[in-house]
Amino acid sequence: MVDARGGAMRGCRHSGVRVIIPPRKAAMPMRITCRYMKREKLAHPPVLMEGEACASRILEMGPSGAKFLGPVIIEVPHFASLRGKEREIVIFRSDNGETWREHTLEATEEAVLEVLNASFEGENGKKKREQKTNNGLDDFSNNRITRILTTDFPQYFAIITRIRQEVHAIGPEGGILSSTVVPQVQAIFPEGALTKKIKVGLQVGNDLVDNDGDGEKKANKSRRILNRLFCLKRCDCKTKNEKRNE
């Protein structure tokens, strides 16, 4: 149970899941529940695209649809290997148990600390903040824990690992989208290739470049393919989210 005083809850059975409700964020007393579920047990599990995988079990939240007066924090351990910067963790949510979409509120270190700093103000605020940071949050450098920052509870959260995706907004004026994983790979949009400004994503794995001396050849070949692809005036492609909801 949690009320206006806030609180922190750690999952039993060594799950490692922790929910932190800062003070003055719960509008009324409520019972918070958090349960791991196997992906196979869901009637409509998240659809995984190529190169994607679940980094932990599905998290069932309760009460589903509960709204808070500010961001709350959920810590979830995961077992994904991120291979440096090659892969990333993304959070997907399902509000109705059928359709899934990406959770857009990013839990950066600054955002998490801002939530805590705003919650423990007052005469002894600094002391309380330090105690809460030391006891309530694990070290930010721990890459085995994913933090979810949310202002409401969906029915499910899914922790997904995928190849790092570079996302930029590109319009009719054109532009270049480069990969931070394999800098030799670029997606070039000539002027006029797009009719309006859209968000474009690029994913490239390290396996594109090997150690046999022909990595540059492979990268050049991929760049030529991307150039031909994005020179098209029209593209009748569905977004990943549309494919997930089919």
Of the options 2.60.220.30, 3.40.630.30, 3.40.50.12280, 3.40.50.2000, the CATH number for the domain spanning 165-208+223-241: 2.60.220.30
Q: Which CATH architecture has domain 7-163?
A: Sandwich (2.60)
Cis status, amide bond into 22, omega within 30 of 0: no
Closest CA to 53 of 64, 71, 33, 39: 39
- Asked which of 81-85, 86-90, 105-109, 232-236 is least confident by mean pLDDT, the reply is 232-236
User: Which band of pLDDT confidence, cut at 50, 70 and 90, is reported for residue 72?
Assistant: very high
pLDDT single digits (tens) 157-204: 999 999 888 888 999 999 988 888 888 888 888 898 888 998 888 888
| pTM across the whole model | 0.74
Cα of first residue to Cα of last residue in the chain, in angstroms, is 37
How far apart (Å, rounded) are the C-alpha atoms in residues 216 and 183? 11
Numbered ranges of CATH 2.60.220.30 in the chain: 7-163, 165-208+223-241
Confidence of residue 233 (pLDDT cuts 50, 70, 90): very low
Question: Distance between CA 223 and CA 233 in Å, rounded?
Answer: 18
Residues in the chain: 246
Q: What is the pLDDT of residue 61?
A: 95
